Amino acid sequence: MQNAKQGDTVIIDYCVRKGDGTVVGDTKETGPQTIKLGDGAIFPQVEQKLGGMTVGDQETIAIDCENAFGARREEMVVDIPRQNLPAEADPQPGMVLEAQQQDGSSITLHIVAVGEDTVKADGNHPLAGEDLSFDVTLREIKDAA
């Protein structure tokens, strides 16, 4: 039986859970995913485990928060004066804003609270601070060209 290796394109099914068991991603909803091993399209721990698997193999891969989306950083939660938002904006919790940082790079902010004069936004990735578990099934291997 053929083992997956760097450069191969693989088709996988997966279910991603937070440490408390909450499902945060599942190919049952999106369909199988195609990944080229070595492209860095998935966490290195998952890619490493996929290398060496054969079709039909199932693995569970644990990734601690530091190696997933990092620790939550409270300094990434900011209050934004409503006057700094576009006039047509009607901010609501759960909305996403793109903002420009002082160094010119952009950051995605998730609105978590709306006050009369300010909006509280969180620049952390929604899964920051979360340990993750990937249940992966290798469905197909396409040889590297």
In tens, the pLDDT along 105-126 reads 898 999 999 999 999 999 999 9
Q: Is 27 exposed, middle or buried (0-12, 13-18, 19+ CB in 10 A)?
A: middle
CA distances (Å), origin 135, targets 17, 42, 51, 117, 130: 8, 13, 15, 44, 16
pTM passes above 0.85 = no
134, 61 Cβ separation under 8 angstroms: yes
Q: Token match 């998730």: residue?
A: 110
In tens, the pLDDT along 32-42 reads 999 999 999 99
